[in-house]
Structure 1
Amino acid sequence: MDGSSAGPAGAVGLLRSAFAPGAPDSPQGPYLPLALLREIAPVLHDEELDTRFLTGFADCQAVLSGPAFAVPDGDWLRRERPEWAARPAAEFFYASLLGTNGAAHERLRAPLTAAFGPRRVAELSAGVEKTVEELLDRFADATSDGGAADFQEIVGYPLPVAVVGELIGVPRADRERFHRLGRDAARLLEPVRSDEDWHRADAAVTVLREYFAALLRERRARPTGDLASALLAQAGADRHPGVDRHPGAESPPDGGRHRAGARQPLGEGELADLLLLVFVAGFETTAGLLGTAVHTLLTHPGQAALLRADPGLLPGAVEEVLRWDGPVLMTERLALRPVGVGGVTVPAGGSVTAVLGAANRDPDRYPDPDAFLVHRTGVRVLSFGAGPHYCFGAALARLEGALLLGRLLERFPRLAPAGEPVRRSSACLRSFDVLPLAATG
């Protein structure tokens, strides 16, 4: 059934109540209105926003994975939103991994494959464990007098900032100020952007671009083992295929013309933008996952007890957190041609918004979807997207979540909420700004 502003009574009102930034939080969050919306209008055309909101798992998965849909890109920007085109933040976003399709997207994504592959993530495990211990030491010190401390400030944000900063090559002394800049740049993820969103995103992108351009210049002169150095080396190999093979390597039969490096190499500005995206994407949503995971377990003490008794449940518990309240609530796609979704025809160029949070609680996909169960099996979430734009950092985020939860529950058996948490004011991102906890609750 296709809802519209003149369709099922209250459908648009349910949508507004689910996505309103700063709306009163509740145990159901936005999920109760989204569940009701799925029942009365699983494909809801919001005429004011001119997009069709999808709340069913199958529909969302089909849109994210299918070849008939693409993300809004630079061509869309210049055609549909020319007033944005001169903005630094828009120019960055719609030329980035998040705003490109097809060959342009693969060209940007390919250099990151090794950096975020299973082998590299496994290699990072020891460093993540060390950082977890250091941050939990700080949390222990902050709560040693029996009082409360803000978990997000001490652990939730610093952990992913440290992990992705170490991966990229951002010096430790520079990472703290990137918290604010990264949050400002992440305002580009909002489905409706205010003038203030654009102003702050433009300023943040400008500063971060300059920073990563300078970091690349430094790594070009003095390479290390970080991602910035690896991207420079890969770009050099792409420009001169076969030249910087390791000694003794055989030349390919075609002289290197058709190796991976045959694609157009990334320029300096593109490399800086790629590092910018990796940094912001690598901590902003992961910080949301970490805070939500901790809060969810503490408000479900029976499930936390199961994890303490059986740490083998930790990876599944992270998946259940992602399903139950993932860090990204929705994402947009455009139809490349007329295509049917949920019994409704979306015209060519029509916008659809996959509501990931609603899809992950679809009762047709998960029995008892509103229950948080760390032993749930068969969980395949859409929280990291699907298809060509599946999140390249998903494995690293999962690793951080499992390692943090395991050590937190072990070290602080009496951990408890110690005040009212403050949710981030966002229609798209599910995260905490403040999460007060006590170690002796």
Structure 2
Amino acid sequence: MNGSAADPEGAPEGASAEVRAALAAVFDPGLRADPYGPLAVLREAAPVLYDEESGTRFLTGFADCQAVLAGPDFVVPDGPWLARERPEWAARPAADFFYASLLGTNGAAHERLRGPLTAVFGPRRAVELSAGVEKVVDELLDRFEDATSDGGAADFQALVGYPLPVAVVGELIGVPRAEQERFHRLGRDAARLLEPVRSDEDWRRADTAVTALREYFTGLLRERRARPAEDLASALLARAGAAGPASARRVGERAAGPSGGRERPPAARERPPTESELPLGERELADLLLLVFVAGFETTAGLLGTAVSALLAHPEQAALLRADPGLLPGAVEEALRWDGPVLMTERLAARPTEVGGVAVPAGGSVTAVLGAANRDPRRYPDPDAFLVTRPDVHVLSFGAGPHYCFGAALARLEAAVLLGRLSTRFPRLAPAGPPVRRASACLRSFDVLPLAATG
């Protein structure tokens, strides 16, 4: 966590030992499968809890987390924060990438990166990918069926959970299928930047991965500049090319005025482009593709595994889904709510403010614990129950506000197609051994998920 230190706030008198124990349990590797009990203790006893060791205020209520993510009073740690607070990281390739990316920019700098991406890849474009997603799902489930045809078990996450989003986002960007497995490994290493506390090993692996991925995507852009294709790399290049000359004209216009010969007013003639209007350079485009690739598969792979696991743990809900495929969208939302792919995310106060009735100084760190917010009984009755028919589900799993996940629609599509196909092709799908959770304090995912097709 990155926030500045302040006086401890939020822990009610007489509950400190219980609250501190609950907070420690949230980060205990032994409780990684189910941190929601300790989170419930925090939410009830200290919904805004300052932790001196990490320098952040943990927020566990839905309303507080939503206000922080969606409101104007909080921002993400960015490049200026990096230079001011963590200058020792500045020379690292991974830090250079992260704190200049969509995940590490605010205001006009963020809009400048997000604008071209949302213009060529919005929710409508995600829907257009449905046929391709269905094709990949069917191919991967064929592999899973072959692997379990003898009645034995297979690692669902290795055969389906990870390859599905890697293939979908790889095809979207323009990464050939033969190269996607190598990028899966690099992407997992780059995703170590999402950890709330990063070890030296996290940094080393992230640096290596970012360097390799930057080199690859720079080469891909050169190739697409010469030979455009129907992919995101080509679309972003085309948009950057269209924006470039317009921006140059705004900067370079002189008193000659338009062809009519009348001189334009000085203010109109000389106005430079705003920061959000500047076209993206080659490095920025490569970094944007890098982020799309890593973010496009890492959290989606987590969602696919946890959604399948949740349904298997609640067979009566799986039966409802088989009987009524119209429940698929609701089942995906409930899976996101019940055990979403991202447990927590950090913000900094842009100005002195308060959250949950607790003062937060300018620059103060807050950590929205999305997993706790999504199970807040003030927002969801019977929050620990998994119900595919639950009404009025509005999850924070993809964030909110300016940093709402740009790939949320595609992730939902992949999950809905996969769950629908599983319910018809493998109605007797069952756990076949202990799963292995990913060693992460932030990302909710499986490294190993053994399943049998005929349980």
Q: Which TM-score band applies after superposition, normalised by the shorter structure?
A: over 0.9
Match of 1:349 among 363, 366, 375: 363
Indicate how the Cα distance of structure 1 residues 109 and 129 shifts in structure 2: closer, same or farther if over 3 A, else same. same
Indicate how the Cα distance of structure 1 residues 270 and 5 shifts in structure 2: closer, same or farther if over 3 A, else same. farther
1:87 matched to which residue of 2?
A: 92
Structure 1: unaligned runs, 5 residues or longer: 244-252
Secondary structure in 2 matching 1:49: coil
By how many angstroms is 1:98 displaced?
0.1
2:448 matched to which residue of 1?
A: 434
Counterpart amino acid of 2:377? P
Instruction: Note if 1:422 corresponds to 2:436.
Output: yes
Kindly indicate whether the alpha-carbon contact (under 8 Å) linking 2:307 and 2:332 is maintained by their aligned counterparts in 1: yes
Counterpart amino acid of 2:25? S
2:193 matched to which residue of 1?
A: 188
1:365 matched to which residue of 2?
A: 379
Counterpart amino acid of 1:207? A
By how many angstroms is 1:8 displaced?
2.2
Instruction: Note if 1:198 corresponds to 2:186.
Output: no
Structure 2: unaligned runs, 5 residues or longer: 1-8, 249-263
Kindly indicate whether the alpha-carbon contact (under 8 Å) linking 1:4 and 1:44 is maintained by their aligned counterparts in 2: no
The C-alpha deviation readout for 1:277-307, integer Å capped at 9, x for no partner, is 0000000000000000001101110000000
> What are the equivalent positions in structure 2 for 1:10-409 lying under 5 Å apart?
10-20=18-28, 22-26=29-33, 29-241=34-246, 263-409=277-423
The C-alpha deviation readout for 1:102-146, integer Å capped at 9, x for no partner, is 000000001111333222111100000000000000000000010
Counterpart amino acid of 1:12? R
By how many angstroms is 1:6 displaced?
9.2
Kindly indicate whether the alpha-carbon contact (under 8 Å) linking 2:59 and 2:366 is maintained by their aligned counterparts in 1: yes
The C-alpha deviation readout for 1:320-339, integer Å capped at 9, x for no partner, is 00000000000000001111
Secondary structure in 1 matching 2:121: coil
Kindly indicate whether the alpha-carbon contact (under 8 Å) linking 2:108 and 2:275 is maintained by their aligned counterparts in 1: no
The 1-side partners of 2:221 and 2:150 are apart by 44
The 1-side partners of 2:53 and 2:388 are apart by 39
TM-score, with normalisation over the residues of structure 1?
A: 0.94
TM-score, with normalisation over the residues of structure 2?
A: 0.91
The 2-side partners of 1:329 and 1:434 are apart by 19
Secondary structure in 1 matching 2:397: coil
The C-alpha deviation readout for 1:153-177, integer Å capped at 9, x for no partner, is 0000000000000100001111011
C-alpha RMSD of matched pairs (Å): 2.1
Kindly indicate whether the alpha-carbon contact (under 8 Å) linking 1:151 and 1:434 is maintained by their aligned counterparts in 2: yes
Kindly indicate whether the alpha-carbon contact (under 8 Å) linking 2:15 and 2:45 is maintained by their aligned counterparts in 1: no
Indicate how the Cα distance of structure 1 residues 76 and 44 shifts in structure 2: closer, same or farther if over 3 A, else same. same
2:255 matched to which residue of 1?
A: none
The C-alpha deviation readout for 1:4-45, integer Å capped at 9, x for no partner, is 89962221221121123x32455xx00000001111110000
Secondary structure in 1 matching 2:17: coil
The 1-side partners of 2:80 and 2:272 are apart by 29
Structure with greater Cα Rg: 2
Instruction: Note if 1:2 corresponds to 2:10.
Output: yes
Counterpart amino acid of 2:23? L
The 2-side partners of 1:260 and 1:406 are apart by 46
Indicate how the Cα distance of structure 1 residues 259 and 100 shifts in structure 2: closer, same or farther if over 3 A, else same. closer
Kindly indicate whether the alpha-carbon contact (under 8 Å) linking 2:112 and 2:276 is maintained by their aligned counterparts in 1: no
The 2-side partners of 1:262 and 1:366 are apart by 39
